[in-house]
Amino acid sequence: MRTVYWHQQHVRMIDQRRIPWELALVDLHDVEAVADSIRDMTVRGAPAIGATAAFGMALAAQNSKAQTVPELLGELGKAADLLKASRPTAVNLAWAVDKLMASANGSDFATPDEVRAALLNAAQQIADDDVDINQRMGKVGSVLINEQDTVLHHCNTGALATVDYGTAIGVIRSAFEQGKQFHVLLDETRPRLQGARLSAWEMEQLGVPYDIIPDTAAGFYMRRGEIKLVLLGADRIAANGDFANKIGTYQVAVLAKENGIPFYTVAPTSTVDLSLATGDDIPIEERDKSEVLAPFGNAIAPAHFNARNPAFDVTPAHYLSGIVTENGIVRPPFEVNLRRAVMGEQV
**Which CATH number covers residue 15?**
1.20.120.420
Model pLDDT, residue 194: 98
Which CATH number fits the domain that encloses residue 205?
Answer: 3.40.50.10470
Q: Given the residues 187, 235, 242, 273, select the one marked as catalytic.
A: 235
Q: What is the pLDDT of residues 65-110, one digit of tens each?
A: 999 999 999 999 999 999 999 998 989 999 999 999 999 998 789 9
Q: β-pairing, 183-187 with 263-266?
A: unpaired
**Which amino acid is located at 174 in the chain?**
S
Range of 26's domain?
4-135
Last residue of a domain, one of 113, 135, 157: 135
**Which amino acid is located at 122 in the chain?**
A
Last residue of a domain, one of 135, 154, 174: 135
Q: Are residues 191 and 319 in the same domain?
A: yes
Q: What is the pLDDT of residues 113-156, one digit of tens each?
A: 999 999 999 999 999 999 999 999 999 999 999 999 999 999 99
Q: What is the pLDDT of residues 237-246, one digit of tens each?
A: 999 999 999 9
For the cut 90, the answer to whether the pLDDT of residue 5 exceeds it is: yes
Per the structure, how many domains does the chain have?
Answer: 2
CB 31 within 8 A of CB 47: no
Model pLDDT, residue 62: 97
Helical segments of the chain, H only: 31-39, 46-63, 69-84, 91-105, 112-141, 168-177, 200-206, 218-223, 249-258, 290-293, 334-342
Q: Are residues 143 and 244 in the same domain?
A: yes
Model pLDDT, residue 107: 78
Model pLDDT, residue 328: 98
**Which amino acid is located at 254 in the chain?**
V
Residue 275 lies in a domain: yes
Model pLDDT, residue 257: 98
Q: Are residues 296 and 212 in the same domain?
A: yes
Closest C-alpha among 162, 155, 199 to residue 45: 162
Q: What is the pLDDT of residues 164-188, one digit of tens each?
A: 999 999 999 999 999 999 999 999 9
Last residue of a domain, one of 84, 111, 135: 135
Q: What is the pLDDT of residues 257-314, one digit of tens each?
A: 999 999 999 999 999 999 999 999 999 999 999 999 999 999 999 999 999 999 999 9
Q: Are residues 193 and 335 in the same domain?
A: yes
Q: Are residues 119 and 161 in the same domain?
A: no
For the cut 90, the answer to whether the pLDDT of residue 64 exceeds it is: yes
Distance of alpha carbon 166 from alpha carbon 179, whole angstroms: 18
Q: Are residues 75 and 208 in the same domain?
A: no
Q: What number is the average pLDDT over the span 316-335?
A: 98
Residue 24 lies in a domain: yes
Distance of alpha carbon 168 from alpha carbon 249, whole angstroms: 13
Note the maximum CA span of the chain. Answer: 67
pLDDT more than 70, % of the chain: 100
Strand, coil or helix: 25? strand
Q: Are residues 299 and 317 in the same domain?
A: yes
Residue 347 lies in a domain: no
CA distances from 29 to 2, 11, 82 (A): 18, 7, 15
Q: Are residues 176 and 126 in the same domain?
A: no
CA torsion 32-33-38-40 (nearest 10°) is: 110
* Residue 238 phi, psi (nearest 5): -80, 170
Q: Are residues 123 and 11 in the same domain?
A: yes
Catalytic status, residue 235: yes
Q: Are residues 81 and 197 in the same domain?
A: no
Q: Are residues 86 and 198 in the same domain?
A: no
Q: Are residues 267 and 243 in the same domain?
A: yes
